[in-house]
Chain A
Amino acid sequence: MDWQVIIANLPLLMSGLAKSVQLTVVSILFSVPLGCIIAIGRLSHRRWLSGACTAFVNVLRSNPLILILFWFYFLVPLITGRNVNDLTSIIAAFIVFFAAYFAEIVRSGIQSVGARQIQAGLSSGLTYAQTMRHIVLPQAIRAMLPALITQCIVVFQGTTVVYVIGYSELLHTAASIAERTVRPVELYVTVAFIYFIVCYSASRIARHFEKGAA
């Protein structure tokens, strides 16, 4: 064991962690709104719309993230007709993939409020949008907050998948240092520890909201 290698490479590892976090944040920022749109689409009375949104969610949820990543990696340059950088394909894949999961969370949050409250809101003279804004969403958001945070942890853990493409997030950075210094034990243990600290702290926060909601 030689932990010197970790200290020497700490700045590199931290910049890897920063990239992982960046990727997580960008994915969440775009996939949550997309997920909301799809969730509302699924609850629509228009058959074709709810059918299309349901199909989108089910297809993405039955495929592994790594395969979706390969799909985008292959398709994005083909569709746009030019060489885009890796990061564009990665982010596109993450946004689309996780939107399906967020859509499910939002849908079950909205459904947990119940149709009767919507009916009550409408019959007291509010418009549909007002009912959503003042009655359904405040309750739905409270109900789905723990699941949302847990899903954000899943996104963060999911960024490790990018390793296969060679994008230098935390895991890939560690792997290349491990290869260069021939110190895989120290590096992978350190990386596991970093992921654990981040995910564990975040899961504590989720637990806190769960208790608050109950």
Chain B
Amino acid sequence: MRYEFDWGLLWREPYFGWIVEGVLTTFHLALLAWVLALCLGIVIGVLRVTNSRVLRAIGTTYVEIFRNIPLIVQLFLWLYVVPQMLPREFSFWWNRLDNVPYWTAMIGISFYTSARLAEQIRSALRAIPPGQFKAGLSTGLTQVQVYRYVIVPYALRIIIPALTSEFLTVFKNTALALTIGVIEITATTRRIEAWSFRGIEAYTVASLTYIATTILVILFMSWLERRYQIPGLIKRGEARV
């Protein structure tokens, strides 16, 4: 293997500026998509455990559709198909927006992720023993209070590990936004490689960004988990033999 390294390249312009830009794009795209996905996911997840058969069917259909179509295909649908289905005025306004691929990617990743999150939320809600709800009611709490003080705090703790891994999935999935023209960190390093033929240096930057973020998120979330541990519940890792 003959390859001359030139790590200094990464600090030179224009590459350095590109890298900063790319990392920032990845981060805010991931965070925005995450927040939107969480809102959608909670709604759909709750729909799937309601007593109404119609609402449950809506929730199930939503989840199956968004889970079973690959994310890139969904991004293409949002970019090429959906604007054509909308009223003319709206699609005019939409196409005149500044960064259409960016917003398209945000919407696409959010909907895709929300279906996965809805499943996690549903199983967290189902993991709560129904006795908890009845016990809350029988001690004189109202239904809202039971949710506020018993069910939700409980469900949030159960769901932390799943939320961690889902966030990391969103974070990695932002790389797919490059297929519709968003210049995030992976696209940036691909561009640097194309300009300079320094693939190893360029891709190392992208990989380190993902690895470092993964480590930080996992550390933070396991701290959060320990901090809000309910005494007496099985801790993560303890169930193992």
Contacts and interface: CB of A to CB of B under 8 A. Distances in A.
A114 B240 CA distance: 8
A59 B211 contact: yes
Contact of B206 (A59, A67, A199): A67
B64 A200 contact: yes
Contacts of B211: 59, 62-63
Nearest to B173: A64
Contact of B178 (A58, A62, A78, A164): A164
B214 interface: yes
Contacts of A74: 193, 199-200, 203
Nearest to B211: A62
Nearest to B165: A61
A160 interface: yes
A89 to B, nearest CB: 12
B46 interface: no
Contact of A195 (B73, B175, B200): B73
A37 interface: no
Interface stretch (A10-18, A123-131, A132-140, A185-193): A185-193
Nearest to A197: B68
A116 interface: yes
Contacts of B186: 64, 66-67, 70
B203 A192 contact: no
A62 B69 contact: no
A212 interface: no
Interface in B57-73: 64-65, 67-73
The A contact surface, by secondary structure, is: helix
A99 to B, nearest CB: 17
With most chain B CB atoms within 10 A of its CB, the pick from A111, A153, A178, A192 is: A192
A188 B76 contact: yes
A28 interface: no
Interface stretch (B48-56, B77-85, B146-154, B221-229): B77-85
Interface in B29-59: none
A171 interface: yes
A7 interface: no
A73 to B, nearest CB: 8
A79 interface: yes
Interface in A18-77: 58-59, 62-67, 70-71, 74-75
Contacts of A192: 69, 73-74, 77
A184 B175 contact: no
B68 A70 contact: no
B70 A195 contact: yes
A175 B75 CA distance: 13
A203 interface: yes
Contact of B73 (A58, A64, A160): A160
Given A116-B241, A192-B74, A185 B176 contact: no
A191 B73 contact: yes
Interface in A153-207: 153, 157-158, 160-161, 163-164, 171, 175, 178, 184-185, 188-189, 191-192, 195-196, 199-200, 203
B207 A188 contact: no
A161 B199 contact: no
Contact of B172 (A63, A153, A188): A63
Interface in B1-24: 1, 3
A163 B77 contact: no
A67 B206 CA distance: 8
B157 interface: no
9 contacts: A67-B203, A71-B207, A116-B241, A157-B71, A160-B73, A161-B176, A171-B73, A196-B65, A199-B67
Interface of A: 58-59, 62-67, 70-71, 74-75, 78-79, 81, 111, 114-116, 153, 157-158, 160-161, 163-164, 171, 175, 178, 184-185, 188-189, 191-192, 195-196, 199-200, 203
